[in-house]
Amino acid sequence: ELLLVQILSIMTTTKSECSVCCEDYTTVQVISSVCGHNDLCSTCIKRHIEAELNTKGSEIQVRCPKSRCTIELTYDDVKRLAPKELFDRYDTLLLRAAIRKLQDFRWCKAPKCGSGQEHTTGDNLPIITCEACSAKSCFTHDVPWHIGLTCDEFSEQLQTKDYAANRAYYERHTKPCPKCKMSIEKNSGCDHMSCRCGYEFCWLCLGDYETIRKKVKSSDLCNVVLPIDLNSMLGLRNHMYSTLENSKMSKNNALDRLNLIQDHLSQPTGSIDLANERSNASFNVEHMNWLFCGSKDFAKALSDAYQMIQRDPDLYIPGGHSFDMTQPQQRELVQRQALRYQRVHETLKDPLLRRALEIAMCLYSEAFSMKIYVHNTLFRQSIEFFGTKEQQDEWMDDVLNWRIIGCFAMTELGHSSFIRGLETTATYDRIHDEFIINSPTLTATKWWIGMAGQTATHTVAICQTIIDSENYGINWFVVPMRDRKTGHLLPGVTAGDLGAKYGRHGLDSGWIQFSNVRIPRKNMLMKWSKVTEDGKYIPPQNPAIAYTPLIGERLTVLSGTQNALGRALAIACRYGCVRRQSADDGQIMNYQTHYVRLVPCVASIYVINIVDRAIKIQWEELIKQIHTNQAEFLKNVTDVHALSSGLKGTITWWGSEMFERCRRSLGGHAYSAYNAIGPAIGDWGVTTTGGGDNFVLLQQTARYLISSYEKMVQGKQLSGSVEYFNNIKQFSKIVKKDLSVTWNNNQISLIRLSELHSFRYCLSEYIQGISKYQNSIPEFQNLCPILTKLGQLWSIHLIYESLKEFLEEGYFGKEQANIVKNAYFRMCKELRKEIIPLVDAWGYPDFILQAPLGKFDGDVYKEYFNTVRAAPNCVGVPSYWKDYIKPFTDP
């Protein structure tokens, strides 16, 4: 043992000179092969193995790197000497070489399948059915099955003059292997080609794939190609011309081939352009996806959920979109999805996957999202928040399992954000121990109530509480609406659908009227306020508690914005990097008018993502205080309420502006519903008015800010979102005695005050969020530089958009304004090069985007045309031709 230790000590300290690179290396670094040579450093051995794999093709041999040595390294030698990634490639090539020796083995021809199998019946029964994906292929010809043709007929067709004359097909769909010159056909899939000779190359540029792999920063190599440009393709054309001129081919044939290449140059270059864009990433896109999703595990769960949707015929939308469906068809689709979702959700044991499936489905359909939100958030959480333990025990099991389907009846035909003014009444009948629910006027009709039109069996209705003709204010009541077996409305309840809407056509938004509907007293949710059997009203400790659920509702706009706008931006940015006016023009994304529109929007999504995560934690802590420390809750709830109103108004208006930028960036194609931007704008419209008009909500925030200002002037310390007021040293006196006059004369300024306060809060939380990532896992630490740039851009964007105010108030002079403007344009240009990696990191699959122009692979025009071509009544004579067109054309 002592001798071994001494030998090891000598080996680890002895330096030798590598016979290849002449660099010193430690002896122990070299692991001797069977031939005994050990005078090469490990770096040179690794390079040698890599070179052997790149050049030996189908031989798959790795010889000893020592000059003139013919000994082949063993499998174990390569495993010890090569890095894992290189050894995995070596192992794969050996497997392929072994498979090639199996005469009956065939690879599946279906795109992205990657499976293969032996077919022992040979040419006698030539149809191969893939055991993995069920795709059919031909054993004899090793191609996808030639439907409608026998093998003999297909062979004959291959020999016909018509087929031989169609050189364009071969020129477009086949290329020679750069090593063995065998023609290879690319049916579909990625551009990573593997020839039977063992050589791997890029379909687009015919370059060595190993070289490409080193240059591309991606964990999914099959979706990446080596960036090339049109000049490279022109060089290829010139090389071909020289080659053809020197060959024995006729000049006409040479010109034919040149024309084919020229024709290829005029084709859309979307796949190449997006590959170029993806190679510009200064960060790891996969790690950014983990951060955007919250964690690596949840990113994986979300990916699994996407696959579940695509494979489930009741969750997946037939044809890939619902734009051509009628309203009844969309209603049925969404309810079918809701039923199937609930059934699948019940079977899932993994809580991450359960949550991921809900988010994935909400991303897939805004109508589905609202249906789930109305039941799970507005209705269920109202019972959880306002209901006593006894009430929750009575209802929650049915609610959780959808045996009771609920809606939330707050807004009325004549009232929305002014909750104190709601007209629906709940009058207590002491004799029968019941409340009588009534809609006393037309304007008291509950209006814009999601799921009230056709679906909901119960509602939580906000009503004025009347006892002995005295109004004790609003409270929350559970009111049955429909028979759970038949779906018919119950006595005294009149409800209907609101009909045609701007968006979310799959959601049955409705109206409700109550006429002497009797409910038990226990149907009043009585955790905070109560009515006793003898008619005594016990109010809550603080009236603010009644509005607490509305805070959570308003805060959901943050996640809603990043999801809805994220999808729109992914479409707009990819199209902007694919679209060219002609082959000689650059991408439209390179024009300042284009990237300045979109880059700040992309930055804002990252800001909102981090802020959303932070404020959810804050909200959850506040909810806990209701049960553990009500005094602390009442101290903090006012600030969070004001903040939620400001964020809801500010972020949804910003979202509307972003949507419009996306729409304009698609040009005329945005007018097509098939590119998803128009329908998404329709779906988005409700967010700026639902649950209260933004002008009203922002004034709530402004009142809180003015009140906080007054406290600061009085010398009180402020906390929460207005803590920064404590740092302000000088104020001009803006609060006057007649506040109502001041208020009405300055509403526009007060709205702007609320917006800037909300933006400042977002930036403050974003900065804190980044600082946490700096001390997080290494994968997130490495993302901080790009996240910092995104935050800086959005900050300067807000200043740029507010230059008018800065100049008017004298904070900036002309020179400072120019500095801001120039810095803004410079940062937009700098981040423009990373715009595709940044939107890719959000991880939205093509089927979620539902827009041909947003395809990940950049092949947008073919998909767009095929979508339009498949539309109902796309071609053919219309049914009204005879009655209304023929009289013109054939009188």
Could you tell me the CA-to-CA distances from 764 to 33, 561, 724 in Å, in that order? Answer: 60, 19, 10
Is residue 154 one of the residues assigned to a domain? yes
Q: Mean pLDDT throughout 519-533?
A: 96
Q: What is the pLDDT of residues 644-670, one digit of tens each?
A: 999 999 999 999 999 999 999 999 999
Least confident of 8-12, 116-120, 665-669, 816-820: 8-12
Which residue among 99, 128, 152 closes a domain? 99
Tokens representing 661 are 């930028």
Task: Please tell me which of 326-335, 553-562, 620-629, 807-816 the model is most confident about, judged by mean pLDDT.
Answer: 326-335
Least confident of 48-62, 303-317, 795-809, 877-891: 48-62
pLDDT band at 16 (very low <50, low <70, confident <90, very high): low
Q: Mean pLDDT throughout 571-585?
A: 87
- Mapped to the 3 state alphabet, what secondary structure does 95-109 carry? HHHHHHCCCCEEECC
* Alpha carbons 571 and 744: distance in angstroms, whole number: 42
Is residue 548 one of the residues assigned to a domain? no
Residues 663 and 681: beta-carbon distance below 8 Å: yes
User: For position 104, what pLDDT does the model report?
Assistant: 79
If asked whether residues 148 and 67 sit together in one domain, one would say no
If asked whether residues 608 and 465 sit together in one domain, one would say no
**Whole-number CA gyration radius for the chain:** 34
User: For position 226, what pLDDT does the model report?
Assistant: 37
If asked whether residues 665 and 520 sit together in one domain, one would say no
pLDDT at residue 255 greater than cutoff 60:
no
Is residue 7 one of the residues assigned to a domain? yes
Residues 456 and 448: beta-carbon distance below 8 Å: no
Percentage of the chain surpassing pLDDT 90?
A: 51
Q: What is the pLDDT of residues 50-87, one digit of tens each?
A: 777 766 555 677 877 776 677 777 877 888 888 888 88
Is residue 834 one of the residues assigned to a domain? yes
Q: What is the pLDDT of residues 215-225, one digit of tens each?
A: 544 444 444 33
If asked whether residues 129 and 78 sit together in one domain, one would say no
Start-to-end C-alpha separation, the chain: 111
pLDDT at residue 580 greater than cutoff 70:
yes
CB-based contacts of 451, cutoff 8 Å, min separation 6: 371, 374, 375, 405, 406, 407, 507, 508, 509, 510
User: For position 97, what pLDDT does the model report?
Assistant: 74
If asked whether residues 95 and 111 sit together in one domain, one would say no
DSSP state of 675: G
Place of tokens 């009655």: 883
Residues 464 and 423: beta-carbon distance below 8 Å: yes
If asked whether residues 451 and 567 sit together in one domain, one would say no
Is residue 814 one of the residues assigned to a domain? yes
If asked whether residues 459 and 567 sit together in one domain, one would say no
Which residue among 99, 124, 152 closes a domain? 99
CA atoms in the 13 A half-sphere facing the CB of 604: 26
If asked whether residues 117 and 76 sit together in one domain, one would say no
User: For position 1, what pLDDT does the model report?
Assistant: 43
User: For position 575, what pLDDT does the model report?
Assistant: 96
Tokens representing 627 are 């049960």
Residue bearing the bigger pLDDT, 182 or 85:
85
Least confident of 469-483, 590-604, 616-630: 616-630
* Alpha carbons 143 and 149: distance in angstroms, whole number: 13
Q: What is the pLDDT of residues 125-162, one digit of tens each?
A: 788 888 877 788 888 888 888 776 778 777 776 665 44
pLDDT band at 584 (very low <50, low <70, confident <90, very high): low
Other Cβ atoms closer than 10 A to 166: 12
Average pLDDT, the chain: 83
User: For position 187, what pLDDT does the model report?
Assistant: 63
Is residue 298 one of the residues assigned to a domain? no
If asked whether residues 580 and 653 sit together in one domain, one would say yes
pLDDT band at 479 (very low <50, low <70, confident <90, very high): very high
Residues in a beta bridge with 438: 425
User: For position 339, what pLDDT does the model report?
Assistant: 95
pLDDT at residue 287 greater than cutoff 60:
yes
* Alpha carbons 172 and 466: distance in angstroms, whole number: 79
User: For position 261, what pLDDT does the model report?
Assistant: 43
User: For position 125, what pLDDT does the model report?
Assistant: 78
If asked whether residues 398 and 456 sit together in one domain, one would say yes
pLDDT at residue 228 greater than cutoff 60:
no
User: For position 489, what pLDDT does the model report?
Assistant: 98
Residues 447 and 413: beta-carbon distance below 8 Å: yes
Least confident of 293-297, 305-309, 378-382, 620-624: 620-624
User: For position 884, what pLDDT does the model report?
Assistant: 95
How many structural domains comprise the chain?
4
User: For position 185, what pLDDT does the model report?
Assistant: 74
Query: Hey, is 879 helix, strand or coil?
Result: coil
pLDDT at residue 734 greater than cutoff 60:
no
- Which CATH number goes with the domain that contains 409? 2.40.110.10
Could you tell me the CA-to-CA distances from 74 to 37, 57, 78, 81, 470 in Å, in that order? Answer: 14, 18, 6, 11, 94
* Alpha carbons 506 and 652: distance in angstroms, whole number: 22
User: For position 233, what pLDDT does the model report?
Assistant: 44
pLDDT at residue 629 greater than cutoff 90:
no
pLDDT at residue 4 greater than cutoff 90:
no
Residues in a beta bridge with 464: 425, 474
Place of tokens 């122009």: 853
If asked whether residues 626 and 590 sit together in one domain, one would say yes
* Alpha carbons 744 and 123: distance in angstroms, whole number: 87
Is residue 384 one of the residues assigned to a domain? yes
User: For position 267, what pLDDT does the model report?
Assistant: 59
> Read out DSSP for 224-239?
------HHHHHHHHHH
* Alpha carbons 479 and 446: distance in angstroms, whole number: 13
For residue 495, give its domain range.
372-527
If asked whether residues 681 and 625 sit together in one domain, one would say yes
CB-based contacts of 439, cutoff 8 Å, min separation 6: 423, 424, 445, 446, 512, 513, 514, 515
Which residue among 42, 72, 99 closes a domain? 99
Residue bearing the bigger pLDDT, 183 or 26:
183
* Alpha carbons 141 and 126: distance in angstroms, whole number: 9
Is residue 185 one of the residues assigned to a domain? no
Residues in a beta bridge with 466: 427, 471
pLDDT at residue 36 greater than cutoff 80:
no
Is the pTM higher than 0.85? The answer reads no
* Alpha carbons 781 and 786: distance in angstroms, whole number: 10
